[in-house]
Each structure stands twice: as C-alpha cells, then as structure tokens.
Structure 1
Amino acid sequence: MTASAPSVDERRSQAELPMPPRKLAPGGNVTEEWLAAAHVSPGSYDFLGGGLGEGPFPRMFDVWSGVDLSNNSGPTPQGAKVSGVGQTPGVPPASLKYPVLQPLMPFLDANLPRRLVFDLLELYFTSAFSTHMHPVCHHIHSYILRKASFLSRDAPRPSTPALLASMLWVAALDDRAFALSISPQQRKNICQFLCALTIRLLRPLIHVSFKDQGASLSEPVGQELPPTTVHHPFEGGGDDRGLVGPAGSLDDVITYIHVASIISSSEQKAASMRWWHAAFTLARELKLNQEIEVLPNVDTQTEGSSPSFDYALPGWNGVDTRPFFDYSNPTRPSLNCVCDRHDMQNTITEEHREERRRAWWLLYIMDRHLALCYNRPLALLDAESEDLLLPLDEGSWQLGNIHSNSPRPDGPQCLLSGDKNKRRVFPNFICHDHSIFGFFLPLMTITGELIDLNQSRNHPMLGVRLSGKDAWDVHVNEVLRQLEMYKASLTAFAATASDPEAPLSYAYPPPKPDNGVDPALTQAYSWHTQTVISYASYLVHVLHILLVGKWDPVSLIEDKDFWTSSPAFASTISHALDAADSVDQILRFDPDISFMPYFFGIQLLQGSFLLLLIVERLQKEAGEGILNACEVMIRATESCVVTLNTEYQRNFRQVMRSAVAQARGRPVNHSEIRHRRKAVLALYRWTRKGTGLAL
C-alpha cells in the first residue's frame, strides 16, 4: 500500500487540543523557548503565539515580505499561500531540485520558500574541509547518511518526513544559516516551525498508529493516514492485551539523535537525556548493534532492517522479503556482502547496512560522552557491540565504496573483495582516519573503561573491593597499554597522513591534477590532519588525568585524603601541562573550536581542574608556566562559549579567570573569592551522588 502525505489541515487528531496562546520572550533562544514545554505531550507545543486550535502547524507565509527569493527554483504554489496549506497531497518529484524532499513538501510549501528549503538541505551536507567530509553544522557530529543518496535526482534515499524535517531544523539552527537571505527573526521563526513539525511527524515513542486509528473519532472516515503511520510491518505485532509491538525505524533513531543533540547543546542538559534514552532504547530494539541478515524474513527479520514506509519514489516500491539466495542451511541466514547485487530490486543494500552501523557507533560515542558529562553509568555496553563492524572511513562511505568484509570467519564476507577491503572490528585502539569514527571512537572506547572503573570505585559496596592495590593496578595498566597503542598509531598517522598522495586505505584522497597536486589542496589536507592530531593529543592527556586523577573539582581542591602528596598527582601535573600545550595547538588550527565543539567542552573542563588546583594552592608563587597554561585554557573556554554557548563554560571561565588574576597580584577579598569559587564548582559534582553538568 502506498500513501501520500496529506495536506496540513488534514493532520488533526485527538491529541491536538487547543492550547492558550503563549508569547515568545523578547530575545529568547529558539531552543530554550521550545524546551520550556519539553515535559509535556507533543500536542502541547505552541511556538508562534497561536493556539493549536488554529491549526496543527504554524503558518509562516507572512514572514517573507520583503525577502528576495525570486531565484526560487520551485516557487511556492499560490493556492497554498492563500489557504495556508498545500493543495495537493503529493508533490511530483520531478518538479523538485531534490526529490528526496517529496514526502515533506506538503507540510512546507505553505510555510517556507522552496529555495530556502533546498539551501538548508545543502547546508546540512556542507563540509568544513575540502579534502574530507566533516560536518560544518555544530549539531551534526558525524554523517550517518550519504550526501549523494540524499541529493540524487534519479534515485534518492526513501526517508521519513520527520527525518527530513529534523535535518532542515539542524541546518537552520547553525550560525552559518545567517548567510542565507533571511533575517535573524525569520530564522528564529523558521527554527520554531521546523521544531514543531519534527516533533509532530516523529510521534515520540509511538511512531505507528493503532490499526483502527483511521476509523477513530478523531479522524474522518476514509481519511488517509500520514505516511509515518502506514505500511508498518509490526502493526500486527501486538499481543492480546492490545499492546503495540516494536515500533520505529532507523530514520526515527537518526531523528532522535538530531533532536537530542539540539537539546544537549542548550541549558536543558538533564532534559536531553529523555531523548537520548529514547534513541538508545529504539536502537537496541532495532538491533542496530548486530549485523543485519541480507535475507529479510517476516518471521526472523531484524526490526529496522528495511524502511518501514513507502513513498513510491522512483526505483523503490516497498519492501520485498522474497529470498534471492539458495541456502543449504536455511537456519543460518547469510551476513555476506551484497555489493555485487546491483540488479536486485527491493533488497537490503550495503548502504543501508552501513547506515545502521554508523548510527549505532555514533550512539556508542555519545553514550560515553554523556556518561562523562553527567556522571552516570553506560547505557550501551561493549559486550553488545563486539559483533558489529566498525564504520567505514568517510571517503569510502561518501563515495559509495561499501563492502561488508570482516576479518573474522563468523562475520560478513565479501566474495568480490576476498582479502582486500577488510574492515576494522571492535575493539580497536588505533587512530584510523580524520573522521570522528576514525580518531575519536577509539578514545571513547577507552573512556568507557574509565567510566566503568570510576562508577565501580564510587559504588557503595563494590568500591571497597576495588580499593586493593593489586586489583586496581591491573585495570590501570591495561588502560595505559591501550593509550600507548593509540599514541603510537597517532605518530604513524601524523607521518603518513600529512602526505595527500600517500596510499592510505583510510584517507579521503584528494583529486590529483595532471600537473601534480594542487598546493592549496595539500595545505588544506595538512591543516585538517594537524587539527585532528592536536585534538587527539589533548584527549590522550585528559584520559591519563582521568585514569589516575580525581574527577570531582571540589574533592580535588579540598584534598581531604592528601592525594596531592601522592606520586599519582605528580604524574597528572605533567599531563595537565602537556594538555595545555595541545590546546595551544588546537587554537592555532581551530581558533573557534568548531571542529568538535559538542564533545570538546567536557574534555576541556576535566583537563583544567588540575591547573585550577595548582593556582588555588600556590597563589602568587605559581610559576609563569602554570599561569600561561591557565591562560590558554581560558582562551579555549572563551572560544567554546562563542561557538556553543553553555552556562557551565561561562561559570568555569569566571572561576579560572579570577584565580589567575589573584595569582598575578590583583587585590581581592581572599575568603569571599574562595567561597564564591567553591559555590560555583559545587554545582558540578562527580561524586557518588553527583550529576556532573546535569543541573
């Protein structure tokens, strides 16, 4: 069954009750205004001041007065401008610059100019570097999706409207959206509209309708349901108590990632965990941590293994579960690569399998980052991730050179590649390439071990058992071995990746002109490489500090157990100073801290606590080297505040700045300053009951 998206006014349901108008605060933040209602049901969201009784979506066509959009490649239908809704349930894909947007256009044509929609989609896939694909938008941490698949005019990737809306929202929130022909107020309204649209289309924690929803009192008889609620293979999966079975798809997971990332970068960090946990839970339910079988079966199919929607886009006519392999052992479906099956229609592709892997490993990275930020246990375990291939390098992924070829005999095998194109397997502690998956994932694997150790050490019962020196040393030595392995690979990466002509399987090789390599391209390649090396070097030093140091700043300064008199303290001081040198290099190659701002903030904070302790203790006796290191950390924190403004960074900058000024001889009330400093640091605790940055 194929269903087209209904017009906006058709999307009324029982959940969309009229709400009292809510005015926007002057100068309010787009995300903050929305988060004020994040604890209520999606039907309660109201963004542009009008109640939901006036229509399920805000109408924005009046915003564009005076905006030059005459070059619009697809003008907004005039009928839609008059009525406020799209007049046709579907938009012919041939009329769109990017046909992938076809399922979403009925919701957009009445509200946003097409040219702006196309610009936002292009911004989503804009790279910060010319030699490697690296997201320029701060809320995108790594590309799960292929740019060519989305921007293709012939065979675009079938995608849910919620995913498409969230992609546009992420792009609109980025500062680079100011380069588009819109004013700040228009951008704010656009973000609010896309936020509301994303949540409505996503249907958080529901995703599918009950089988009788079409005949419910809230829907007119015979009205078509939106495409996000039809053609789902699990509608009949409920039990005799009326409970709904597994719901959602890979697109829903990616949409959750987008929404959660936006909330996490705001001041509502604790609230973001609801969305992250929804992503974690759905990813586990869809078994994204397992290699998917290339033979879908209605009885054994891994949920999320194929799109759960049908938009009748060219070249894709739904899900076909008919077998195309003849297995001698049907009880063990094959995991082998299907890269040679280009002529097969409606089958699971290597691209979809790789999307699943990248989604899981991004969530794996995010889980460890959030655990470090909020002092919480891990949600995604190493044990459930060990059978999944690690992501491809960014170059091969974006070029579509995808092979599932595991070095393990029980993993996927590529019959065409043979011993070539062997994939990396988990765990891996090698700096592999320039991408987040290539250089940051190994470090976050080690971070997960440190989080487990710290949680065990703070456990009310297990902590006593781990206090024995021998047991603890075994864990510490293993982590040190992994860090040394990574540092050795980083040295090799620096030596090899500095040459764009080097035959690296993991490099994104820039094009080579007939007359040699373009000097500008070589410089860009080297700049990106040095940026990665600077960040990776800093992170290694921070992991050393976390391994043998204290995580909680108040406990560190109080020093009730005299830890500052131990050999471990001396070793962490050297790493703190080396970390400051690495930050100085980071500021040279990435002065606005835009390379990975979402992940870097907590790492910068944990790397600064020791320097604050030294300045606090030594005061005017602190050497110039220590004070200069503190100044570097302050400059980096200020850059972070400009790029991704959060309160804890502003607070810590004030604490560090006052400590350095005091050490340089500025006359202050010492007891008052110390009390204020401790009060600020007490907000962020990494003790047994502490919640880190989650206030």
Structure 2
Amino acid sequence: MRRRRTSFRSAASNERNVRASVSTPTTAADFAADASLRAPTQDCHYRFLDPVLPFIRRIIPASVACELLDIFLTDPGSSLFRGASPYILTRVFRKRSITHPSSPRYTTPALLATILWCVAQTADVMLLHVPGTRARVVNDLYDLATSLVSERDPDRWRRIHGGLRAESEVPHPSFSKPAVPTTTAANEPAGLVDDVLTFILLSIAVSGGDFKSDCYKWWSKAVRLAMALRLNREDERCSASVSPCANPLCSCHADTKDASLVQFERREERRRVFWLLYSLDRHLSLSFNTVLSMPDSYCEVFAPLPEVVWESLDVIAPKDLPARILGPPTLATGTGFFEYFLPLMAILGDIIEVHHRRRHPRLGGQNNAHSVAIVKELLASYELSLASLNSSNYPYGPHGPAGPADHSRVRLVRAYSAHILHVLHVLLHGKWDAISMLDDGDDWITSPRFTECAAHAISASQTVSTILTIDPELTFMSYLFGIYLLQGSFILLLFADRMPQLGPNESVEQACENIIRAHEVCVVTLSTEFQKNFRKVVRSTLYSVRGSGTTNWDEHRARRRALSLYRWTKGARGLAL
C-alpha cells in the first residue's frame, strides 16, 4: 500500500496536481456531441478508461472496451486462450497504475483510443467476430484516435515572438477553435509523454499493415516530439559547479531529490517511452533500410528499471532500487521487453551504423575491423547472459527475494533471442539484399564473411524449429519477428538456388522447410504481404531443384520479380512499400 511508504512523500496531492495540469483536449465536431454526454461507466470496471468512454459510446460498448483493455494487460505468451495484441510490445505504464480502482493514472483520450484501436485489430472478442464489425470498429477507432491526437499535435503551431500561433489562421470547419497549448522553456508547444506514446503506437500498427510506409508521418512526429520533450536527455549530467545552473533548458532543472512516488513514476515512464522509441528506431531502420533517427550519441538516459521492480515501486524504498547505468543495456537480464529485446536493439544499432558506413561513397573504404570486433564481443557477451536466464533471481519485491522467472516465458525469450542473435551475426558479416546475394557480383561467397554468415543462418533455422515447438502459432512477438526471420533466410535461399550446380543437400532442404513453415504460421497469425511472397519464392526454388534439375526460366523470373519488391541496396526502402 502506498501509505505505508516512508521514503516517498504522500502522492495524493501531487496526483491531483498532475490531473489538474492536464487539460482534456478539444475534439473534432463529429465527436463533440458524444463528449458532452455522460459515459456509460456502469458497464466498465476500469476507471482508467473513463476519459475516452464518452467518445467511443457510438463505436463499441463500454463492456467491450474493458475486454480490449484486458487484452492490453495480457503479457505475450502468458495465455493460450487470450492472446496479447501483437502491436503492444510492452506496457509502458505500471499495471497497478492502470488498474487502480479509484485513482488510476490519468491518460489522454487520444492515447486510450489508440490503445483500443491497436488491440481491436486482432482481439478475440465475440462482438468483433460478427462479419464486417471488426473492420468498422477498427476504422472508427482510428478516425477517433487521429482526430483526438491531431488536436494535440505540436505541428499545428508555429512559434512567434511572445507565444504560439496556429499554422492555419482560418480554423478548419471540423474543429472548434483550438486552445493555445502551454510552452516549453524553448517556447515550443509542450506535448506530453502520452502524445509520444500515441504516435509510437500509431507507427507500430500502421507499419505492421500492408501500407508500411504510411507509418513515416507518425514516426516523424514521435521522434520530433520526443526530442522536443528532451526524453533523450532525461538524465543528462550537468557540468556546472552549481545546480540548478543558469541554462533554463538544462536537465538539472528537472532534478527532484525528494520526489514523491508519482513524480518518480512519471520520470520512469518518460525513460520507458524513450527506450521503446529507441528500440523501434533500430527495428524500423533494418526493416526500411534507413539510417538511425536516434543515434546513441543523442542519448543520455538511465536504462529502464527491471520489470519486477517497476511493478513493485509502491513497496520498494528508493535506497533499495538497483543501481542505474546510463545508456542502453547490452546483456539479457530478464524476460521483460526492455530486459531482453532492448539489448538486442542496442547491438543492432551498432551493426546498422557499421553497415551504412561501409556503403558511404567517401568513407566506405576505411577498415571496419575494429568496429566489427567490438560488435562480435557484444554478441558473445549477450549470448552468455542469455544462457544464464534460467537461474536469474530478482532480489527485489515486497516480501524479499522473488522466485525464478516463469520457466515457459524464459524458454520463449531464450529461443526468440537466440534466433535474433544469429541473425545479427548474419547482418554483421553478410549482405542484406537477396538479389545481390544471389548474383554474387563480388565473389562474396568465397570470403570468410560468407562462412560466418552461413553457419549462423543454419543455426538460426534450427532455432526456428525450436520456436515452432514451444510457440506453434508464433504469437510471442509476431510484429517484430518477421524481419529477422526474413533476413536470416536469404542465405538459405542462396543455398537452395545453387543446389542444381552443387547437388542436393538434405540439411539445406530441411532448413528451408523450417523457414517456409515459419512464414506460413506468421501469415496466419499476423498476415503480411512480404512473408507471403517470400514463402512462395523459397517453395518455388525447392520445387525447381527437386524436379528435373534444370532451371525453369519462367519460374526463375517470377522469383526475381517477387524478390525485387523488397531491396536493401543503396537508396532502396526494404519493406516500406
């Protein structure tokens, strides 16, 4: 219970101040009439949803909104009967703050509508199984979410001397006159961390659909607002001899040595939103063949707290919190998203930096051996840390040491992380583009780098077989898994393509079958066009080599056309069609 805490000041008054300082946004005229009506809260036991209930009453019943929130609160891999949403990569907020019966965390209606929209796309809810209902609900929730967040969008304002002015002097007829937002010390529109998370969730779900490049507009807003809010400098160290220093923009002005629980929790939320953005930056950079939007040199933020500590803040005194490190972790420390996936993304970011430096027209000729050696050390250290997850105990919690992490989740984390780890080796040493690999214009397949790639590609295929055994429907990280499955498969496609010249190879055929099966399962769980196409390419290649042994040029050209949609050459956009 919070009132037992002696290390934090009472948070009740501060909670009221936080709520009072956040004004409910004005909304589009289409939703204004609903907003003026009382929400049907008697059908919803989550007070967390109260801010959005007036807006959704004509879209879904409050009881269905509660079902969707139940799914939002479900951890991936924790239930066979209620799958988590593939677009909710992690809960940024504490579960206790969401489910508090009387004083849940205040959350903007825009973010709540976006959460419901993300979950509704795949939710196993009876109402959404009625033909046509899911599409209507998803479209209506998207319209609501984007209408609400557009009114909070800092891009609607420009800075002038003395304040802000709306970009359009003539208000759009769909909107009431906007309220001028508060400003930061740099006179920028002061958004909220909720707004950053709203843009992130919109980016994730749109990038997981058929029109992946449409996520750029939301992604750009998420990155720019995070920078404006200085989420990337949350724990920047001030070099001044006195604190706070004379610079009003310095992070030392945000330091609160005697913070209440609510204040501490809000700062940790900012860190978690930033690290989610950081992880997604690396993931999308690989998916879309771009450079990083948020290089490590931009970042000075404490690594996230362990999940069990984060969820138990009410009962842990500040002196008992684990030591913090600046920057992202590079070792697996647990089964939470930030404990196993963030370290992988930190290493992937280094690989992306090395990869694009190699292709630089003037700097690409430099020797990258030292950088490659550092990344290999990071990968080796992560592999060792992953092997020790079985015996990981967390010495934090309300009643002393906690038990070992859930065994089934540990198996999932170890299997998926091992696969991504092998793919990172492939990305470090190999080519990222399938057609360039098949053409082999530079005799890459005779180099030592190819040997490393081949070994790790085979190992990645073997871990896919393990993953399919423990997660037959590939639901644990279905949004994230596809690009790593694809990049780890290109070399196997090369092996299969060369079999008519080199002779049959049963291990390669089995590895290809594993990959085909995984892509087939992925398509069922979260359908994506690139996985459908690549599955056809690999299957066609195997049919070709198992047939007459001669090349069918019509089939060959069809495979090349399919692969040419997704290129990782200079200037190409990867999956961003």
TM over 0.5, shorter chain: yes
Does 2:236 match 1:335? no
Q: Helix, strand or coil for the counterpart of 2:232? A: coil
Partner secondary structure for residue 349 of structure 1: helix
- Cα distance change on mapping 1:357 and 1:432 into 2, 3 Å: same
Q: 2:110 aligns with which of 162, 170, 173?
A: 162
- Does the C-alpha gap of structure 1 residues 209 and 296 become closer, same or farther in structure 2, counting only changes over 3 Å? farther
Q: 2:420 is matched with which residue? A: 539
Please give the per-residue CA displacement for 1:459-513, whole angstroms capped at 9, x wherever unaligned.
121113x2xxxx221111111111111111111223x14xxxxx3248999999x
* Residue in structure 1 matched with residue 212 of structure 2 by the alignment: 269
Alignment equivalent of 1:364, drawn from 256, 278, 298: 278
Q: Distance in 2 between matches of 1:535 and 1:139?
A: 17
Residue 116 in 1 paired to residue 64 in 2? yes
Q: Deviation digits for residues 496-541 of structure 1, max 9, x if unmatched?
A: 14xxxxx3248999999xxxx9xxxx9x922111111111111111
Alignment of 1:430-469 (within 5 A): 430-464=331-365, 466=366
Q: Is the 8 A contact 1:458 1:687 kept in 2?
A: no
Structure ranking higher on relative contact order (CA contacts 8 Å, 6+ apart): 2
Confirm or deny that 1:290 pairs with 2:233. Answer: yes
Separation in 2, partners of 1:577, 1:608: 9
Does the alignment pair 1:203 with 2:150?
Answer: yes
Identical residues among aligned pairs (%): 34
Q: Kindly tell me the number of residue pairs found equivalent between the two proteins.
A: 541
Written as runs of structure 1 = structure 2, the 5 A alignment for 1:169-188 is: 169-176=117-124, 178-180=125-127, 183-188=130-135
Which digits, 9 at most, give the CA deviation of each residue in 1:207-245, with x for residues without a partner?
A: 7779798xx98699xxx979xx6584229976xxxxxx3
Aligned partner of 1:586 in structure 2 is: 467
- Indicate yes or no: 2:444 matched with 1:563: yes
Q: Is the 8 A contact 1:621 1:663 kept in 2?
A: no
Q: Report what 2:287 is aligned to.
A: 373
Equivalent residue letter for 1:647 = E
Correspondence for 1:146: 94
Amino acid aligned to 1:351: E
State whether residues 279 and 342 of structure 2, in contact with CA within 8 Å, keep that contact through their aligned partners in structure 1. yes
Change (3 A) 1:89 1:258: same
Q: Report the CA distance between 1:564 and its aligned residue.
A: 0.9
What is the TM-score of this pair, normalised by structure 2?
0.84
Q: Name the residue aligned to 2:327.
A: 426
1:229-628 equivalent positions in 2, closer than 5 A: 230=179, 232-234=181-183, 245-291=188-234, 300=248, 332-333=252-253, 335=255, 338=258, 341=260, 349-385=263-299, 387-400=300-313, 416-417=318-319, 421-464=322-365, 466=366, 471-494=367-390, 496-497=391-392, 503-505=393-395, 525-619=406-500, 621-628=503-510
Find the counterpart in structure 1 of residue 530 from structure 2.
Answer: 648
CA distance 1:509–1:578, shift in 2 (3 Å): farther
SS of the residue aligned with 2:368?
Answer: helix
- Whether the 8 Å CA contact 2:35–2:55 is kept in 1: the answer is no
Deviates more, 1:245-254 or 1:354-363: 245-254
Amino acid of the residue matched to residue 233 of structure 1?
T
How far apart, in 2, do the equivalents of 1:336 and 1:144 lie?
A: 22
Distance 1:285 1:357 in 2: 14
Distance in 2 between residues matched to 1:286 and 1:236, nearest whole Å = 10
> Residues 613, 90 of structure 1: CA spacing in aligned structure 2 closer, same or farther, 3 A cutoff?
same
Amino acid at match of 1:122: D
Structure 1 alignment gaps of length 5 or more: 13-55, 58-83, 239-244, 306-331, 343-347, 404-413, 498-502
Measure, in 1, the Cα distance between the counterparts of 2:286 and 2:171. Answer: 45
Secondary structure of residue in 2 paired with 1:463: coil
Which residue pairs with 2:560 in the alignment?
A: 678
User: Which TM-score applies when normalising by structure 1?
Assistant: 0.71
Partners of 2:266 and 2:315 lie apart in 1 by: 10
Q: What secondary structure is seen at the aligned counterpart in 2 of 1:673?
A: helix
Q: Which moved more, 1:122-131 or 1:391-400?
A: 122-131
Residues 321-343 of structure 1: per-residue CA shift (max 9 Å, x gap) = xxxxxxxxxxx54735546x35x
* 2:336 counterpart letter in structure 1: S
CA distance 1:472–1:151, change in 2 (3 Å): same
Give the corresponding residue for 1:190. 137
Whole-angstrom distance in 1 between the partners of 2:487 and 2:205 = 23
> Take 1:281 and 1:640, find their aligned partners in 2: how far apart are those partners?
32
Q: Which residue of 2 aligns with 1:27?
A: none
Matched AA of 1:609 = F
Contact 1:208 1:230 in 2 (8 A): no
Q: Secondary structure at the match of 2:210?
A: coil
CA drift at 1:139: 0.9
Matched-pair contact (CA < 8 Å) for 2:478–2:526: yes
How far is 1:102 from its partner?
2.8
Distance 1:583 1:143 in 2: 26
Segment of structure 1 superposing worse, 654-663 or 422-431: 422-431
Does structure 1 retain, via aligned residues, the 8 Å contact 2:181–2:189? no
CA contact (8 A) 2:116 2:141 kept: yes
Shift of 1:113: 1.9
Quickly say closer, same or farther: Cα 1:269–1:96, change in 2 above 3 A. Answer: closer
* Counterparts of 2:108 and 2:556, CA distance in 1: 54
Q: Retained in 1: the 8 A contact 2:117–2:141?
A: yes
Q: Distance in 1 between matches of 2:275 and 2:230?
A: 12
Distance 1:230 1:532, change over 3 A: same
Is the contact between residue 85 and residue 110 of structure 1 (CA under 8 Å) also seen in structure 2? no
Please state how far the C-alpha of 1:122 moved relative to its aligned partner.
2.2
Please list every run of 5 or more consecutive structure 2 residues that lacks an aligned counterpart in the other structure.
1-19, 159-163, 237-242
Cα distance in 1, alignment partners of residues 541 and 398 from structure 2: 44
